[in-house]
Amino acid sequence: MPELINIRLTKDSPEVATMDAQAKALGMSRNEMILKAITMLLDFEPTFYKKLEAYSSNANVSMGTALQNMTIKRWAQDNAKRAVWGRNSDILLEFSQSNEGVIQSKELYEMVYQLAFVEEARARFEQLQQEVKQGLELRGEDKEFYEEFQPKYGYKPRLERESLQEGLTFWESDGDGAK
């Protein structure tokens, strides 16, 4: 038989009537709702919980509202892509599986961060590139960023591109490269 746990509500706890109304709206009993909340919290890694707590505090919303609104934002973005493209072919990295199960939080964060960083760096570089093409002078952080990423995302002269292609063609051919 399962253990019996008694809890005592504090002055900061929601009213029992509020709990009952929400449980009813969700189609469950108060007890089921409390158990589902506990089960959900058991899935949280301590680092995630602390970051969620800080995030929601900084946004001045409850943790539940923060989770709900971040999820709704993602669903809306996914559905907008589906509406525009006819499908959403994004790979859901957050549900990637390995032999140990679903990808671990730290690995997921690092992988998504790297992908997003590359995408955002390229977008910022392209924006700065447009400013340079318009004759605007870059200064401060923008200039430093542009100079750092120009070798990676910058313009490659036509001669350099053609020269590289000729070199590859020579290497892959049987000839001596003489014309």
- List pLDDT tens digits, range 79-138: 999 999 888 888 888 888 888 898 888 888 998 899 999 999 999 999 999 999 999 999
Within a 10 A sphere around the Cβ of 170, how many other Cβ atoms?
Answer: 12
Q: Looking at the predicted structure, is the pLDDT value of residue 159 above 80?
A: no
Q: Tokens 């760096």 map to which residue?
A: 121
Selection from 126, 130, 128 nearest residue 143 by Cα: 128
**DSSP letter assigned to residue 87:** S
| Beta-ladder partners of 97 | 102
Single-letter residue type at 165: Q
How far apart CA 176 and CA 163 sit, in angstroms, is 16
Q: 14 versus 159: which is more confidently predicted? A: 14
Q: Looking at the predicted structure, is the pLDDT value of residue 173 above 70?
A: no
Residue 4: phi, psi to the nearest 5?
-95, 130
Confidence of residue 170 (pLDDT cuts 50, 70, 90): low
- Model pLDDT, residue 171: 54
Residue 111, C-beta contacts closer than 8 angstroms, at least 6 positions apart: 93, 103
How far apart CA 78 and CA 74 sit, in angstroms, is 6
For residue 28, give both structure tokens. Answer: 């469950």
153 within 8 A of 122, measured Cβ to Cβ: yes
CA 46 to chain centre: 19
Q: Which conformational region is residue 60 in: left (phi greater than 0), alpha (psi within -120 to 50 degrees), or beta?
A: left
Single-letter residue type at 14: P
- Model pLDDT, residue 61: 97
What is the per-residue pLDDT across 9-52, written as a single tens digit (0 to 9) for each?
Answer: 999 999 999 999 999 999 999 999 999 999 999 999 999 999 99
Q: Looking at the predicted structure, is the pLDDT value of residue 154 above 60?
A: yes
Q: 168 versus 98: which is more confidently predicted? A: 98
User: Distances in Å between the alpha carbon of 73 and those of 5, 69, 105, 112, 164?
Assistant: 37, 6, 20, 17, 44
Confidence of residue 5 (pLDDT cuts 50, 70, 90): confident
